[in-house]
């Protein structure tokens, strides 16, 4: 009972403001993830009940991991089409010992940078299919008066920084 009370208290302390920030970041990342998955050609699951959705591993490219609340929100938003798995170590997603270092379970590895918010939101996204197939993009997004986010322009290709191909 005491534990339940403490849990309730903790829940109450989670402010409205934090929830708004989480929803905003999740909306931005959702657009970036959807675009990166689309560019990589990884088909979504959910067509049949028999097959599990493909796995999309996600690594934080920033100094700190993407907040847990944002991770949970994103997992929920993609649950029907992709199984998102946030990782701490690249070995969690990539078969390091295999030639070409492909992604485990025939999945996809994405890298998401921190979100820079000014007049627009800027975020860096990268995808990794194997050591020979790494691409990076810079995304610029804008918000409408209803706080709905959308790409301001087509993503700009960039040099990979998070997943650097072997020399």
Partner 1 sequence: MTPAAPMTSSSPNPGPARRSIFGGRSILGGSATSTLLPIQALHSMGEALFSLSLVGSLFFSVSVDAARPRILLFLALTMAPFAVLAPLIGPFIDRLRYGHRAVLIMSLGGRSIVAVLLADQLRTLLLYPEAFIIVVLAKTYVVGRNALIPSLVDDRSRLVVVNSHMARVGAVAGLTAAAGGLVILRFGGAPWLLRTAGLLYALGALSALRIPRTDPEDQTSLVIESTEMHGPGIRSATSAMAGLRMATGLALFHIGFSLKTAGEPAWLIAGVGVTAALAGFAGTFVAPRLRQRIDEQTMLTVALLLPAVVSGLGALRFHSATTVAVSAALGLGGSIGRRAFDGVVQTEAPHAKRGRSYARLETRLELAWVVGALLAVIARAPDWLGLVFLFGGLGALAISRLETRYTAGRMGAEVDLSTLPLRLMETAEAVAASGDRQQAVLVAIAAVEAAELAGSVSSEEVTEVRRLGRGAAHENDPEGEDEAMRLAHRLVTEGEPNPRHPGEAPGSLGKPPESLG
- Closest CB 43 distance from partner 1, rounded Å: 20
Asked if 66 is part of the footprint of partner 1 (rule: CB under 8 A), the reply reads: yes
Task: In whole angstroms, give the CA distance from residue 78 to residue 136.
Answer: 21
Taking the CA atoms of 116, 118, 56 and 128 in sequence, report the sign of the dihedral they define.
negative
Asked if 86 is part of the footprint of partner 1 (rule: CB under 8 A), the reply reads: yes
Asked if 93 is part of the footprint of partner 1 (rule: CB under 8 A), the reply reads: yes
Options 19, 38, 80, 91; binder of partner 1; rule CB under 8 A: 91
Choose one: 3-11, 27-35, 126-134, 135-143; the region binding partner 1 (CB under 8 A): 3-11
Rounded to 5, what percent of the chain is helix, strand, coil? 30, 30, 40
- Residues 6+ positions from 155 with CB-CB distance below 8 Å: 35, 125, 137, 138, 139
Choose one: 36-44, 60-68, 115-123, 125-133; the region binding partner 1 (CB under 8 A): 60-68
Options 21, 23, 34, 87; binder of partner 1; rule CB under 8 A: 87
Q: Taking CB under 8 A as the criterion, which residues in 108-167 touch partner 1?
A: none
In the complex with partner 1, the residue whose CB is nearer, 107 or 155, is 107
* Residue 2: count of CB within 10 angstroms of its CB: 6
Residue 33's nearest CA partner among 94, 88, 83 is 83
């Amino acid at each position: 009972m005491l534990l339940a009370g403490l849990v309730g208290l903790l829940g109450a302390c989670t402010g409205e403001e934090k929830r708004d920030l989480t929803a905003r970041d999740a909306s931005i990342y959702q657009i970036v993830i959807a675009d990166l998955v689309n560019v990589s050609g990884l088909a979504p699951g959910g067509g049949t009940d028999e097959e599990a959705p493909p796995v999309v591993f996600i690594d934080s490219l920033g100094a700190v991991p993407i907040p847990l609340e944002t991770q949970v929100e994103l997992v929920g938003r993609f649950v029907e089409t992709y199984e998102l798995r946030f990782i701490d170590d690249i070995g969690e997603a990539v078969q390091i010992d295999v030639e070409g270092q492909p992604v485990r379970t025939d999945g996809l590895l994405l890298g998401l940078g921190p979100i820079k918010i000014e007049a627009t939101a800027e975020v860096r996204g990268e995808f990794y299919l194997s050591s020979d197939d790494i691409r990076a993009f810079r995304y610029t997004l804008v918000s409408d008066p209803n706080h709905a986010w959308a790409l301001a322009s087509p993503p700009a290709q960039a040099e990979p920084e998070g997943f650097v191909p072997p020399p």
